[in-house]
Amino acid sequence: MAEDAALALVGVSRRYHEGTKPLVILDEADFTLRRGEMVALVAPSGAGKSTLLHTAGLLERPDAGEVIVNGKSCGKLSDDDRTAIRRNEVGFVYQFHHLLPEFSALENVVIPQLVRGLSQKEAQDRAMQLLDYMKIGPRAEHRPAELSGGEQQRVAIARAVANAPLVLLADEPTGNLDPHTAGYVFDAMEALVRHSGLSALIATHNHDLAARMDRRVTLAEGKVVDF
């Protein structure tokens, strides 16, 4: 594992059972995400992109192998300790924004910071900075239903990085958007990642967006391989 690794998977296997036959998704897979690196995960539907992201982000436990976040092995940690790492070290962005519909854009970005223990003022100040950076500050008081798809996703990205994580994991973050809006949202996300020094693993079907990242990987027979 590289010394500058923000995230590493070492010999990770993940299997599901369909009847009596196991379905192998990850098979002793190795992967390293270096600090400050943006990596595109490009693979067909059903290849296991979401499983890889969920395992890397400690949402699922691997059947074998180890997930290492910021130098800490996570395999034997308690559920509470894994939750703390997810809250403080890892940010998630999904294809659907998953914003809380009863709260404003600002409140959606404030809430995870309050959970971490920041004061109301600190959380609101940082939330507003992030929304301004994502060019959605004027819409801060609007609820998700009052925002466009691109605006919703930019709020979701701001929320994902609100606690200043080390790693950003994104699962088709522009998949529900038209090409023009997808490009605009990716521009904002890329600028935020580059400016903050985040390490990002981004699953995408969009080869044009993938080509803008530092490198591309795919899944082949349960392994993570560069291409």
Q: Model-level pTM?
A: 0.90
Q: How far is the C-alpha of 169 from the C-alpha of 125, rounded, in Å?
A: 24
pLDDT of residue 91: 92
pLDDT of residue 179: 86
Range of the domain at 102: 5-226
Q: Is 176 helix (H, G, I), strand (E, B) or coil?
A: coil
Q: How far is the C-alpha of 28 from the C-alpha of 224, rounded, in Å?
A: 9
Q: What is the CATH number of the domain that holds 129?
A: 3.40.50.300
Q: Per residue of the chain (227 residues), give pLDDT as tens.
A: 566 899 999 999 999 887 778 888 999 999 999 999 999 999 888 888 999 999 999 999 999 999 999 999 998 899 999 999 998 899 999 877 889 999 999 999 999 999 889 999 999 999 999 999 888 999 999 999 999 999 999 999 999 999 999 999 999 888 888 888 888 888 888 988 888 889 999 999 888 889 999 999 999 999 999 98
Radius of gyration (Cα) for the chain, nearest Å? 17
Do 8 and 35 meet the contact criterion of CB atoms below 8 Å apart?
no
pLDDT of residue 13: 96
**Whole-number Cα distances in Å, 55 to 7, 86, 110:** 11, 11, 26
Q: How far is the C-alpha of 211 from the C-alpha of 209, rounded, in Å?
A: 5
pLDDT of residue 155: 94
Q: How far is the C-alpha of 174 from the C-alpha of 77, rounded, in Å?
A: 33
Task: Give 18-64 as a DSSP string.
Answer: ETTEEEEEEEEEEEEEETT-EEEE---TTSSHHHHHHHHTTSS--SE
CB atoms within 10 A of CB 69: 25
pLDDT of residue 62: 93
pLDDT of residue 1: 57
Count of structural domains, the chain: 1
C-alpha dihedral sign at 84, 85, 89, 93 = negative
Please enumerate in sequence order all residues whose Cβ is within 8 A of that of 187, keeping only pairs 6 or more positions apart, or say none.
Answer: none
